[in-house]
């Protein structure tokens, strides 16, 4: 896929899967400068693939595993298994395949809209996004120290605007408690159905999350001797929300051990409604990178 002038269009094009056969879809990949296909892309495309097989209802939960590093130069085939179609809930299983091998699996559940009990944790008290600097405002000198393809996601051409409450210096990280709050939204309004907003929220949820597990250790993903990769990803959608409005991603990491770090996130809209919850475990290794090997 050629790069678009507008990365929001580019992102929406990635979500426009090609239908190959019943329950079988193909999506393009995008190289954003990471060593492998960005996990959020595969996650979001899997949500779209599963949604294409559901006539009624919205995705309310997903549980996924990243099995192999994806090839950003090749498309991905998504094979959807319609596990169950009940009166209120529908279950789907998605396998993402590249070069004849599964690179990702996801189980997802969809639910028809229903009424029920309603409560939630309160949103943390943090500064408003308008009072915070954007990650897009990184200086040209610092931008030049980031790999070229990855730079597009730190400058004004990136589709999402991220505004950390307590920014971390990725070039000189210092140990700090494993808590982070980040406001985010798409940089422009989009006219898409609720299901697309949920898919794009899943895409964005792979940013900033597992990095919370590195905060107590004063390390950064930009360092040559740090290897990080998502191992799994779980997400629960509680209430409808739009990713082109400000959302607060409140993250914490209760534990790191055994070369893995666990992180949790709560996503709130600007009115303080808890719209989604996320959990992810990632591989985190500090040391020399083995040449030419899959780090997972």
- Separation of alpha carbons 10 and 17, rounded Å: 13
Question: For 6-32, what is each residue's pLDDT tens digit?
Answer: 689 999 999 999 999 999 999 999 877
β-partners of residue 231 are none
For residue 179, the SS3 value is strand
Q: Please give the pLDDT value at position 30.
A: 83
Whether the full predicted model's pTM is greater than 0.85, yes or no, is: yes
Across 65-80, average pLDDT: 95
Question: For 208-247, what is each residue's pLDDT tens digit?
Answer: 999 999 999 999 877 778 888 899 999 999 999 999 999 9
Q: Which residues are catalytic?
A: 206, 230, 280
In this prediction, residue 296 has a pLDDT band, given cuts at 50, 70 and 90, of: low
* DSSP letters spanning 15-63: H-PEEEETTEEEE-----SSSS--HHHHHHHHHHHHHTT-SS-EEEEEE
- Separation of alpha carbons 30 and 14, rounded Å: 8
Is the confidence at residue 189, as pLDDT, over 80?
yes
Q: Please give the pLDDT value at position 105.
A: 98
Q: Please give the pLDDT value at position 156.
A: 45
What domains appear along the chain, each with residue ranges and CATH number? 7-112+132-286 (2.40.160.210)
């Amino acid at each position: 896929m050629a790069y678009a002038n507008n990365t929001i269009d580019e992102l929406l094009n990635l979500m426009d899967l090609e239908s190959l056969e019943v329950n079988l879809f193909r999506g393009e990949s995008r190289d954003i400068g990471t060593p492998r296909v960005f996990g959020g892309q595969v996650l979001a495309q899997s949500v779209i693939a599963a949604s294409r097989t559901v006539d009624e209802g919205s995705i309310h939960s997903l549980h996924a595993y990243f099995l192999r590093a994806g090839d950003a130069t090749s498309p991905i085939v998504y094979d959807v298994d319609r596990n169950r179609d009940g009166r209120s809930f529908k279950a789907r299983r998605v396998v993402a395949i590249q070069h004849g091998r599964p690179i990702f699996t996801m189980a997802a559940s969809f639910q028809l809209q229903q009424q029920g009990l309603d409560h939630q944790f309160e949103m943390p008290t943090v500064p408003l996004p308008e009072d915070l600097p954007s990650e897009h405002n990184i200086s040209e000198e610092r931008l030049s120290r980031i790999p070229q393809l990855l730079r597009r996601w730190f400058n004004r051409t990136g589709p999402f605007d991220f505004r950390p409450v307590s920014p971390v210096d990725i070039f000189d990280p210092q140990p700090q408690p494993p808590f982070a709050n980040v406001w985010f939204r798409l940089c422009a309004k989009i006219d898409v159905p609720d299901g697309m907003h949920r898919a794009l929220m899943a895409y964005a949820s792979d940013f900033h999350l597992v990095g919370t597990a590195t905060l107590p250790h004063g390390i950064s993903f930009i360092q040559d001797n740090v290897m990080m990769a998502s191992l799994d990803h779980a997400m629960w959608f509680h209430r409808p929300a739009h990713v082109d409005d400000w959302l607060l991603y409140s993250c914490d990491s209760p534990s790191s051990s055994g070369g893995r770090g666990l992180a949790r996130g709560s996503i709130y809209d600007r009115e303080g409604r808890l719209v989604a919850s996320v959990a992810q475990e990632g591989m985190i290794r500090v040391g020399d990178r083995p040449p030419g090997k899959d780090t997972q």
